[in-house]
Structure 1
Amino acid sequence: MKLIPSAYLASYLLSLLGNSIAGVALPLIVLQVTGSVLGAGAVAAATAIPAVLAGLLMGMVIDNINRRTSSVVTDLVSAAAIAALPLIDMIAGLSVGWFILFGIIGSLGDVPGLTARDALLPAIVRHSGNSAERLMGIREALGAVALLLGPAIAGTLMVLFDGSQVLWITAATSLVAALLTLLIPHRVGTIVTPDGSAAAMSGSGWSQLRDGWRVLFRSPFLLVTTTLSVVSVIVLASLQGLILPVFFTLVAQPGMLGFVLTALAGGMLVGGTVYAVAGTRGPRRMWFLAGLFGSTLGFGLIAPLSSVWVVLAGAFVVGLSSGLFGSLVGVLMIERVPEQMRGRIMGTQNAIITAAPPVGIVAAAVLTELAGVNVAAVLLTSLWLVALVLGVSAGSLRNLEPQCEEAVRGEKAEAGRA
């Protein structure tokens, strides 16, 4: 594989791996340092809202500067925010306030960093000589690898090193990710219009944001695909964050939760790999329906909470289907999102998806308290049936083939006029 896609994919893997390690290690470190469960909750709550706002607002910045530059800067912000914590620990000692402060600073790099990489991907495809299907499949598979390795690495590091020292390693992953992105030529990150010329933004910041949101919320394709992604995240978050931990506790097998996450990530790895190899074969509608109905089967296996092994099988099927579905949607986003608005549109999508997990967890908590874990599992997984009906019946997802180029040009032209 050529340098440009290799550097992009390696950077993507390291960035996700760092986030995966930090997601496990940071709450444990907060508990070690403060001895307060409330403190750990306060850090998570205080950084959630800035992360969503950063996703909404930083997309405009990403649409105004070189895409490679925005990817590098966001990784450096993440690295600096994490590295500051062990540094302060050596100088003055850490407190909840320091975790909150640098958590907020780090949020300026996390969701915008994901958006910057998403926005850079079409240029990587153009300069790589590889199909979008292959690169998206590989990217989904690498995301699964990060999900598999991150918790294990975090647990090992927490045993081998003092808590705050582990943060040096997570900061290093973001730093190396930024250095790898620098291997991509600067010209690759230039924002271009459909006619091949460099894009020039005009209007105030608010008008630029409004234009991006107008394209997102007036596009049936973008609305439906965003809704499907959000529903999937809500259901998965409710299962992982509350329903399955309660279920495995009730059956006296709490350690099985880790195996469920492994089965989910393993399925995603297989799904992404299959799409990378065979994604260009057969109609795209077939891949789309395979992802939708496969997810329905997986959630259907999990919902009754009938046995540990059935839940594990359901998690694998959900992961496999998500790998197929996520890869296909990524390809469609490359083709159908206007180049000069990728930051704002994808930033808004990522912000909404970032806000979705707490919604799922809170809903699961309320339903479990009121009706029990079994009822909560059935009701929340049933949300996916609504997504299934929407995905199958949506007219904007009937023809997914690349030859609908005229319609794509028309959407991009309308976006340009906006």
Structure 2
Amino acid sequence: MPRIVLAYLGSHVLSLLGNGVLAVALPLIVLQTTGSPLHVGIIATATAVPAVLVGLFAGVVLDRVNRRTCSVLADLISAASVAAIPLADLLFGLNLWWLVGLAVVGAFGDVPGMTAREVLVPAVARHTGVPLERLVGLRQSLTAMALVLGPAAAGTLLVLLEGTTVLLVTAATSALAALLTLVLPHRFGRVEGAGAPRGSVWQQLTAGARVLRGSRFLTGLVGLTVGLAVVLGGVQGLVLPLYFTRVGQEDLLGFVLTALAVGMLAGTAVFAVVGARLPRRTWMTLALVGTTTGFLLITTLLSPVVVFVGAVLVGVANALLGATVGVLQAERVPDEVRGRVLSLQNAVLLVAAPAGIALAGVVAEYGSPLTAGLAVNAVWLVVLGVVLLSRALVDLEPKERTDAQQ
């Protein structure tokens, strides 16, 4: 494996691990500092809107400025915002407003950094000679691994160290991710194509939206990704916790979520090894059939065993779908608008999971965990039906020269 690819993947997993640790550690530190669960919600809400807006407009920057540079700066911003929390505690004493302000600053690094690394995938594959399927598969495998290890590492660190020290460790992971990104040659981050975008920021942003609107293929891929996020958000965030609470087996929730993550890890590992050997249509079919079947097994809530099997199946199929979509987007999105297209997708994904939780919560309030599960599953069936009927996925195989417009 080329050194540059190892550096790219290392940067990716370190950034995700840092985010995973912070997602567990920060709410606990807020509770220790303020003693108020409401303040945890205030911080989450206060950072959500800036994260979406920054995510949207980051794409404009990524299509104008060297993407490697953007990735490095984003990780350094994330590191500085996290490291500033214990520093503020030492110098001034932490309160809610310090935590809100620093969390908002962190949003300027997290979402742009995630998008920048995603935008770099085609360049890393092209310049190193690593097959795109293998690179995307490895990247997705590390993502699944980080989802499992991040919270576990947070729990271990919080037992061994004070909360502020854990934050310094988290900041160090982001800083190290930035250093590893610097291993990539500067030319990897150059924007190829029609040159720097012209017009106002809003005009440049809408140019990315026009690319999506003008391509059934790309719109279909984004639709599948967002629909999947809505359903997973509702299932993980409300349906399963409520179900296992009602049946008095709350301890099984962790095992089901672990099964989902392990399934994702298995699916991405398979794709990384043999992804280039099978037709894209085969991978897409397996992914869509597996996802639909798995969601039906989970959301019908027949028994904990059935839910567990469904979670494994969804994990594997979700990994195959994510890897296949990642490869297709890397191939088909024009480089000069790649940052804007992916930033639009990632910004929508930020609100997709909360939307799924909100939908499930409303239905469960007036119904049951079963009706809530069926409601979010219906979202997936509608999205899947629309995408298939639009014939957006007719042509999935690689071409020597592809155009996003159909």
TM-score range, shorter chain: over 0.9
Deviation at 1:231, TM superposition (A): 1.0
Moved over 4 A (4+): none
2:15 corresponds to:
15
The percentage of counterpart residues that share the same residue type is 51
2:2 corresponds to:
2
1:144 corresponds to:
144
Deviations 1:338-390 (A, max 9, x none): 10111111111000001111111111111111011111112212222223323
- Residues 74 and 112 in structure 1, CA contact (< 8 A), matched pair in contact too: yes
- Residues 82 and 170 in structure 1, CA contact (< 8 A), matched pair in contact too: yes
- Judging changes above 3 Å, is the alpha-carbon distance between structure 1 residues 400 and 114 closer, same or farther for their aligned structure 2 residues? same
- Residues 360 and 375 in structure 2, CA contact (< 8 A), matched pair in contact too: no
Matched, 1:254 2:250: yes
Q: 2:371 aligns with which of 369, 375, 391?
A: 375
- Judging changes above 3 Å, is the alpha-carbon distance between structure 1 residues 275 and 116 closer, same or farther for their aligned structure 2 residues? same
TM-score, length of structure 2 as denominator length: 0.97
2:274 corresponds to:
278
Matched ranges for 1:9-408 at <5 A: 9-193=9-193, 199-403=195-399, 405=400, 408=402
Deviation at 1:393, TM superposition (A): 3.1
Deviation at 1:62, TM superposition (A): 1.1
Deviations 1:180-204 (A, max 9, x none): 000111111111128xxxx333323
| Partner amino acid, structure 2, of 1:237 | G
Deviation at 1:316, TM superposition (A): 1.0
| Partner amino acid, structure 2, of 1:260 | V
Q: Find the aligned partners of 2:385 and 2:23 in 1 and give their Cα distance.
A: 34
Q: Find the aligned partners of 1:224 and 1:137 in 2 and give their Cα distance.
A: 21
Q: Find the aligned partners of 2:389 and 2:124 in 1 and give their Cα distance.
A: 33
Structure 2 unaligned regions, length at least 5: none
- Judging changes above 3 Å, is the alpha-carbon distance between structure 1 residues 234 and 410 closer, same or farther for their aligned structure 2 residues? closer
Deviations 1:254-276 (A, max 9, x none): 22222122111111111111111
Deviations 1:280-323 (A, max 9, x none): 12221111011011001111110121222221211111010011
Q: How many residues in Structure 1 have an aligned counterpart in Structure 2?
A: 406
SS at match of 1:396: coil
SS at match of 1:64: coil
Deviation at 1:410, TM superposition (A): 6.8
| Partner amino acid, structure 2, of 1:281 | R
Deviation at 1:157, TM superposition (A): 1.3
Deviation at 1:218, TM superposition (A): 2.1
Q: Find the aligned partners of 1:384 and 1:270 in 2 and give their Cα distance.
A: 23
